[in-house]
Structure 1
Amino acid sequence: MALAALVSATPRVYKRAMSFSAVIVAAGTGSRAGGSKQWRDLGGRPVLRWSAEALLAAGASELAVVVAPGAEARAAEALGGLDRWFAVAGGDTRAASVQAGLDALAAPPDARVLIHDAARPLLDAATIRRVLDALDEYPAALPVLSVADSLRRGADGLIGEPVDREGLWRAQTPQGFRLGALRDAYARWSGASPPTDDVEVARAAGLAVAMVDGDPRLMKLTFPEDFAMAEALIPRQTRVGQGFDAHRWGPGSSVWLCGVEIAHDQTLIGHSDADAGLHALTDAILGAMGDGDIGDHFPPTDPQWKGASSDRFLEHAVDRLHARGGRLINVDVTLICERPKVKPHRQAMRERLAALLSLPLDAVSVKATTTEAMGFTGRGEGLAAQAIATIDLPA
């Protein structure tokens, strides 16, 4: 059976112990945002996944994710690892997609249901709870924000008269209802054009809609620049990782250190190119993420890594960081050896690391020290490197 069919065929059983059902509308084309915004990456996760995780974590017993016909497999990829959700093929309008989601729910008519737009990814538990609580007293509820800016009409590039903002509110989602009442309201809709949202349908059916506090972070991703704003709103945490590596000296004519080949009367011995600086830095980045170490990702027992450039190891660690929505802030590498002299090559090493890591040069430090002829590095038996990497990740 195809993946899309498996998703749609997943058995759905409504559990009364859970507090609500939910529908995420993700069938739009997102043309103003550059297309398919629900699948785009935001903080290391698809936009759609943010809302799905929030609703499921808040206790949704079933979640209908309405996508464009044929996009079921893409939804399965975006929501991999989550349970209690299923994909539904949407319609030509938002209203048709909502109705398809409502029809697919297994909850009883008196169940609470939340309708949410995938384009509002930064949904939090407090907003969900405010909407659900309001449904204890009202048949429908809507999160809103006050209008802070002055409003003006305008045409042909010229500003016109002001608009009185008294009594005006900015509507958000999720919008909450009793499932049976919303289904009935849609069945009775007789407007000349499709409704703009579900509250419009509910009010046309005579349902009172309570207003609850919205969240300014629950912005709608409409234009390309909105993604940068949303990224800035994601809570982040700073982490520091450290790495250490050492290799023994052996016969050779050059050595690789921090991505730079240096002529020398010996070389470092290792399964790959034995670049201790890059190995230590790779471990520092992986360590900051809690993502194991270089040996977990590139086992020395695997013949494919014999003689491999350590650039690949470092780029792999950075790719994994970016996949989690993380950013590298700065790195600091210390090489510990008696020979070769590092200072003449330090600038080239910094420039190479900056290029590999896509960092500004002042965020890359390479230093060298000796052990005053003590230990294995002092006796010229090998070279050691230690590194520190600072990253930030979505919290």
Structure 2
Amino acid sequence: MRPTTQHDGPKAAALICAAGSGLRAGAGGPKQYREVAGEAMAATAARVFLDHPRVAAVRFVIGRDQRLDYDAAMAGLAGHPKLMPPVAGGATRQASVRAGLAAFADQAPEIVLVHDAARPFASAALVDRAIDAARHGGAVPGVPATDTICLVGADGARGETLDRGLLRAVQTPQGFPFADLVAAHARAEAEGRDDFTDDGALFAWAGGRVALFEGETRNVKLTTSDQFHDEALRRAGSAFLALGDVRMGTGFDVHAFGPGEYVTLGGVRVPHGFGLTGHSDADVVLHALTDAILGALGDGDIGAHFPPSDARWKGQDSALFLQDAIARVRGAGGVIAHLDVTVIGEAPKIGPHREAMRTRIAAIAGVPVGRVGVKATTTERLGFAGRREGLAAMASATLRLPFREDFWT
């Protein structure tokens, strides 16, 4: 979301360089058309400019054989009123920028921003700073060097260590008065210079003043294969961040022993010399888990949703209660991250039935069994559980929910 501060002054055109072959990124086609978090990197890079009120037009420079890749990558933005048709680039980055500038000649914007398609994480605030700085000449974003940087000697050995306080890593978008950048490129072409790797260096060579403004550490350039090899991990990371509201709730339940030949625990019938008394099937495990989930949601407790005064729940399978709580999580757009329960009592022994209970709870909750924990403990013969008068269970539930706009309020 861009800042709400109002700006006056000239609007800009954005030229996005996407003509490279992307060979350093390894197999998989040109890097600029590969997906990052579910969208082609070129499309993500373009959005910040297309959505920005101070940018009037956006144009890509692409490789001569990349039109099909470009069309597929930008399909979701096709027809956007600011997106101009792409132009074919040249053999070098400098030649590609020159071709893009020529394509903007009819519009002749006051300011042009030159950006790399391989930098998909630029912010609207960075675009604002680029436009403001370019009103006074050339301007490039830079971030302080955080690593120790040294020269390399002729023999490959470490040379002089440079003062990183005087160093900046230069980024894009770089901003320039349009007519001045066109003139600088024309001069470089006339003098046979085609070796500049960024427009700030070319502009300075041509005699222009180039200011540095604050860049962004998040505005990284995706270049090498190790940055692309695990797209599944990036998608998982995006999904993780989308469900960044982590909640934890606890639940506790107690039922007394009564006549019977088994107790129901975690949806499993466990042979025992007594049963458990209660309005439903008295499954302390599922009751405690249900309350833990409702607590994490801030949505009351099991008694509020299934009051014992209601005859409908008499003798009911407690799986219904847990399923209802799970449905409430999903209705809120969330997921169950983990369920954990401890059974408290002297008998029956839980160990022989632990895996059956985990499997049943996982099936009810719709989660892998690895996300369910079942444990048991005694009270060293203290209290009602120690006197074998009944069983108790305490549970915890960890949920992941989407962030809401009112999260911090």
- Map residues 270-349 of structure 1 onto 2, 5 A cutoff: 288=333, 330=337, 345=356, 347-348=358-359
> Helix, strand or coil for the counterpart of 1:288?
coil
Q: Which residue of 1 aligns with 2:222?
A: 221
TM (norm. structure 2) is 0.56
Distance 1:392 1:33 in 2: 33
Q: Which residue of 2 aligns with 1:142?
A: 140
Q: Which has the larger radius of gyration?
A: 2
Give the superposition deviation at 1:134. 1.1
Q: Which residue of 2 aligns with 1:54?
A: 48
Distance 2:172 2:32 in 1: 15
1:171 is the counterpart of 2:181: no
Q: Which residue of 1 aligns with 2:243?
A: 238
TM (norm. structure 1) is 0.58
2:144–2:169 Cα contact (<8 Å) kept:
yes
- Map residues 34-183 of structure 1 onto 2, 5 A cutoff: 34-35=26-27, 36-59=30-53, 60-82=55-77, 83=80, 84-85=82-83, 86-105=85-104, 108-109=107-108, 111-136=110-135, 138-154=136-152, 158-165=157-164, 167-183=166-182
2:37–2:238 Cα contact (<8 Å) kept:
no
Q: Which residue of 2 aligns with 1:187?
A: 186
Cα deviation, 1:46-72, whole Å, max 9, x if unaligned, reads: 211221000111132211112222322
1:20 is the counterpart of 2:23: no
Change beyond 3 A, Cα 1:127–1:348: same
Cα deviation, 1:211-242, whole Å, max 9, x if unaligned, reads: 1111111111122334579957999342689x
Give the superposition deviation at 1:76. 2.6
Task: Give unpaired runs (5+ residues) of structure 2.
Answer: 1-7, 247-319, 341-352, 375-396
How many residues end up aligned between the 2 structures? 280
Distance 1:185 1:234 in 2: 45
Cα deviation, 1:331-381, whole Å, max 9, x if unaligned, reads: 779xxxxxxxx9875555688999x98x7x543589xxxxxxxxxxxxxxx
Give the superposition deviation at 1:25. 0.7
Distance 1:283 1:105 in 2: 54
Give the superposition deviation at 1:197. 0.7
2:14–2:112 Cα contact (<8 Å) kept:
yes
Distance 1:206 1:198 in 2: 12
Task: Give unpaired runs (5+ residues) of structure 1.
Answer: 1-15, 242-275, 290-327, 334-341, 367-386
> Helix, strand or coil for the counterpart of 1:236?
helix
> Helix, strand or coil for the counterpart of 1:148?
coil
2:336–2:398 Cα contact (<8 Å) kept:
no
Distance 1:240 1:146 in 2: 33
Amino acid at match of 1:221: L
> Helix, strand or coil for the counterpart of 2:61?
strand
Amino acid at match of 1:74: D
Identity %: 31
1:363 is the counterpart of 2:371: yes
CA RMSD of aligned residues (A): 4.5
Distance 1:352 1:159 in 2: 60
1:33 is the counterpart of 2:34: no
Change beyond 3 A, Cα 1:350–1:134: same
